[in-house]
Amino acid sequence: MISISHLAKKFAVENPKKLSEQEKKDPRLKGKFFHSVKDVSFTCDKGEVLGLLGPNGAGKTTTLRMLSTALKPDGGEIVLEGVNVVRDPLLARKKIGFLSGSTGLYGKLTGRENITYFGQLHGMQLQAIQQKINELADTLDLHSFLDRRCANYSTGMKQRIAIARTVVHEPKVVILDEPTTGLDIMATQTVLNFIRGLKNQGVPVIFSTHHLAEVDELCDRVSVINHGLTEFDDTIAAFRELAPQSLHQAFLHTLKQDVSSCG
């Protein structure tokens, strides 16, 4: 289980005069600081999939980067299986699998070599890494390109290798930042099936998305962030009850928008 309580993160604004008019109107801008995340809380238990929703710029990616230990919060607490992620990030990283918005693969290496390298960074033995790669190649359909250089991959190929790299060390929680963005229908379904497989294994999965059909298909819980604040955090059933017409309407409801004027 992972529990997130009252997370906060601000960034210094180097030159406020260069901000756009929209950025200047954002209520999170206070003097020389932009409070990207002001107060975010949610939980994800074993075997649960949590969909993290919010408009562009709401603070989702900043939140996920704090969960991954890539960013240190200014306030709040993250606890993963009894480990305080903020106080002990090195121990926490062994338990976390994080896929960022950019795959970050080494283009001159093959998919297999990329996955192997990250397995070694986690202290895995080569035999265990190769066994895990074979397993992931089956579930993520990697066999046809696994031993080709990543520089020649399509977007979908890169994303599937990046996901394999994310979970090679069998993390206790998996965090995915918009994992299906830019993928075709077949690659998207492969990723969604993989997330479903993690759920069946009892692994908590937190993923951000703009695709409410994915939330409808996979999620047990939903958390909505807007302007750096948690506006909703509950079960998918409770989310549906906000606006029985559709999840789209429910999402707009959490943003306090007039759903009747949005079709």
Q: What is the pLDDT of residues 20-74, one digit of tens each?
A: 787 888 899 998 899 999 999 999 999 999 999 999 999 999 999 999 999 999 9
Q: What's the confidence (pLDDT) of residue 32?
A: 87
- Structural domain containing residue 209: 2-95+171-229
Determine, yes or no, domain membership for 150: no
Q: What's the confidence (pLDDT) of residue 257?
A: 60
Determine, yes or no, domain membership for 37: yes
Percent of the chain scored above 90 by pLDDT?
Answer: 84
Rg (CA), the chain: 19
Q: Is the pLDDT assigned to residue 178 strictly greater than 60? A: yes
**Two tokens, residue 16:** 């406020």
**Two tokens, residue 82:** 């009894």
In which band, very low, low, confident or very high, does the pLDDT at 14 lie, cut at 50, 70 and 90?
confident
Determine, yes or no, domain membership for 75: yes
Q: Is the pLDDT assigned to residue 12 strictly greater than 80? A: yes
Determine, yes or no, domain membership for 223: yes
- Determine which of 74-83, 102-111, 224-233 has the lowest per-residue pLDDT on average: 102-111
User: DSSP letters along the chain, please?
Assistant: -EEEEEEEEEEE-S-GGGS-HHHHH-TTEETTEEEEEEEEEEEE-TT-EEEEE--TTSSHHHHHHHHTTSS--SEEEEEETTEETTT-HHHHHTTEEEE-SS----TTSBHHHHHHHHHHHTT--HHHHHHHHHHHHHHTT-TTTTTSBGGG--HHHHHHHHHHHHHTT--SEEEEESTTTT--HHHHHHHHHHHHHHHHTT--EEEE-S-HHHHHHH-SEEEEEETTEEEEEEEHHHHHHH-TT-HHHHHHHHTT--GGGG-
Determine, yes or no, domain membership for 253: no
Counted domains in the chain: 1
Q: Is the pLDDT assigned to residue 247 strictly greater than 70? A: yes
Average predicted confidence (pLDDT) for the chain: 92
Determine, yes or no, domain membership for 140: no
98-145 per-position pLDDT tens digit = 998 776 899 999 999 999 999 999 999 999 999 999 999 999 999 999
Determine, yes or no, domain membership for 147: no
Beta bridge partners of 12: 33
Q: What's the confidence (pLDDT) of residue 260?
A: 42
- Angle value at C-alpha 172, between 171 and 173, nearest 5 degrees: 90
Determine, yes or no, domain membership for 262: no
Q: What's the confidence (pLDDT) of residue 22?
A: 79
Q: What's the confidence (pLDDT) of residue 248?
A: 94
The domain that holds 190 is classified in CATH as 3.40.50.300
Supply the pTM of this predicted model.
Answer: 0.91
